[in-house]
Amino acid sequence: MAFVKGAWRILVAIKDGLVLLFLLLFFGALYAALSFSPKPASIGSGALVLDLDGSIVEQPADIDPVALLTGSAPQNKEYRLSDIVAALDAAKGDAKVKAVVLNLDGFMGGGQVAMARVGKALDAVRAAKKPVLAYATLYSDDGYQIAAHASEIWSDPLGGVAIMGRGGSNLYYKGLIDKLGVNTHVYRVGTYKSFVEPFIRSEQSPEAKQANQALAGALWQSWLDDVTKARPKAKVAAYASDPVAAARATNGDMAKAALNAGLIDKLGDETAFGTHVADIAGEASNDRPGDFAQIDLAAYTKARSPSNDGQIGLLTIAGDIVDGEAGPGTAAGDTISNLLLTALDEKNLKALVVRVDSPGGSVMASEKIRNAILQAKQSGLPIIVSMGNVAASGGYWVSTPGDVIFAEPDTITGSIGVFGIIPSFEGTLAKLGITTDGVRTTPLSGQPDVTGGTSPEFDQVMQMGVEDIYRRFVGLVAQSRHKTPAQIDTIAQGRVWDGGTARQIGLVDRFGGLDDAVAEAARRAKIDPAKAKLYRIQEDPNPWAAWIEQMAQRRQEDASARAPRDMLARQATVQRGWAMQAIDDVKTMAMGAGVRADCLECRGYGAPKTASAAGNERGMMAMLATLWR
């Protein structure tokens, strides 16, 4: 018995020790995370490497620390456009930067406006007599638009260039909806407001097809112009218009076909490319073949990050506009309005620049953001709007307070129209032998009834409400653009415009990027544009998430190394991303805000939303099950 008691005391002591050790480790980790403040690493000499294994966005989304730990975080990284541009601007005058290297093997795109801006920054680096070298196994449209601005373009002998052009297919659910017996109630205004068409048609309407073809054609021509200007000797148009002939001439060797057309300069694997870079930028500290002296982009950006204490506020509205609160990468009405109102109260701002990169979303959230911007305007601040890749529907709604609206020729804007959509399942239930009945005290009792169907009175009230919101939208635009509502109505109707046409019809004022908008804001605030400094109106970074992300960085790098590189697998991955986004859009339509100012076709001209590992496990059947519930 004494032996058992002794053994038990030993076990209890071990247990208590382990608990104490765990608590010490936990609180130590918690303290480290809360006090985590990554210090800029010392920057050596070599090539500044832009290893873009993901997409370029206006505002990266927050990553949930739990998702990082469980492996369900987004599979592709997001790189902030302004960080890349700032790094390249610093590199052109930095003696430590011997060259700029673009590794585009895992690049997933980011929209023409962003690509053109990065290309312009690369041109400035080359103008400073510094080489820019690009490498990828396979270049797609967005990747090649950046690479075209390099002084040397390399490709793997088994790779090449796959130019797809603008355009593609959307999913249409009318046939499936009919088979399920679902009744889709749509309330909309706008001949071209095609967001609801997948629910009520099996194909594009003639009006939507005409407008979408015009938009795709304008963007494609702009892409060709940009690439041709950057690489005038390349036979880009001929290669893209007849890829079969190019492939036939080389017996299917697409890398050689791209070389013959002048789209790339040299063929070689990554080791040969790295050896070439080492001759320019210096050898790496190790002896591994193909390595060269590198400057990490994240460390370089962090070391040159300016202090956030300027007098020109920069408010970013990026992603879907939604009600309530959300982190960066989603334009949540409550979050953005609260951030702006707090900045107006606490900071001595002299002007406000509103950067918009959003296809729209909730009308209520858009109006809440607009009202917050109006508070800044009523306090006497000049309001300058800078449009990125997309500023359409709700994205245009929040732009209406601007004194001046800047956009790029490739910006997608307009889509001035609203709609609402509600599914009801009386037909589906009838197939199962289930019916509904009840009593009413008013024509709207129990409406909208998703099991028994909507009443004619409810449908009329909803349609009139949507028409009223459309009139309000048109009125806001008319007041902003100094036109009559009738004039705006002729260019509204839900139609989407490219930036060049939008400027011609008066929806935007000038061509220019964010730098031009900041300079204009400074001039109106009586500040020297050369000395203008920004105050980014944003949430403080989460130190816990930053610490966890640093811990998980190696695992993310391992995952990116497995990214598909051949043409078939690469395009399948991209299209799978678009398919998952389309399914997510359907769920949003069925369960999100009732009345929306949103743009379906706008979403196909940027980078698809990052999909989490867990999210990829949900497919069409899961979406249908959710709708059924």
User: Beta-carbon neighbour count of residue 234 at 10 Å?
Assistant: 21
Query: What's the confidence (pLDDT) of residue 627?
Result: 38
Q: Which of 337, 362, 366, 393 is catalytic?
A: 393
Residue 310 pLDDT exceeds 70: yes
Which whole number is the average pLDDT over 282-289? Answer: 87
Q: Which of 193, 256, 350, 368 is catalytic?
A: 193
Contact 107, 142 (CB under 8 A): yes
CA distances from 171 to 269, 355, 428, 577 (A): 38, 30, 21, 13
Q: Is omega for the bond preceding 485 within 30 degrees of 0, making it cis?
A: no
Phi and psi at residue 282, to the nearest 5° = 110, 155
Phi and psi at residue 496, to the nearest 5° = -100, 140
| Angle between the N-to-C axes of helices 81-91 and 112-127, in degrees from 0 to 180, rounded to the nearest 10 | 10
Contact 338, 124 (CB under 8 A): no
Query: What's the confidence (pLDDT) of residue 622?
Result: 41
Radius of gyration for the alpha carbons in the chain, expressed in angstroms and rounded? 27
**Known catalytic residue at 393:** yes
The amino acid occupying position 183 is N
Integer Cα distance of 143 and 122 in angstroms: 13
Determine the distance from the C-alpha atom of residue 26 to the mean position of all C-alpha atoms in its chain, rounded to a whole number: 36
Reported as a single tens digit per residue, the pLDDT across 191-230 is 777 778 888 889 988 988 898 999 999 999 999 999 999 9
Query: What's the confidence (pLDDT) of residue 7?
Result: 65
Classify 74 as helix, strand or coil. Answer: strand
Residue 231 pLDDT exceeds 80: yes
**Known catalytic residue at 174:** no
Integer Cα distance of 245 and 252 in angstroms: 10
Which domains are seen in the chain, by residue range?
312-418+466-542 (3.90.226.10)
Contact 499, 508 (CB under 8 A): yes
Determine the distance from the C-alpha atom of residue 221 to the mean position of all C-alpha atoms in its chain, rounded to a whole number: 22
Residue 27 pLDDT exceeds 70: no
First-to-final CA distance of the chain? 61
Query: What's the confidence (pLDDT) of residue 621?
Result: 39
Residue 417 pLDDT exceeds 80: yes
Q: What mean pLDDT value characterizes the chain? A: 85
Residue 594 pLDDT exceeds 70: no
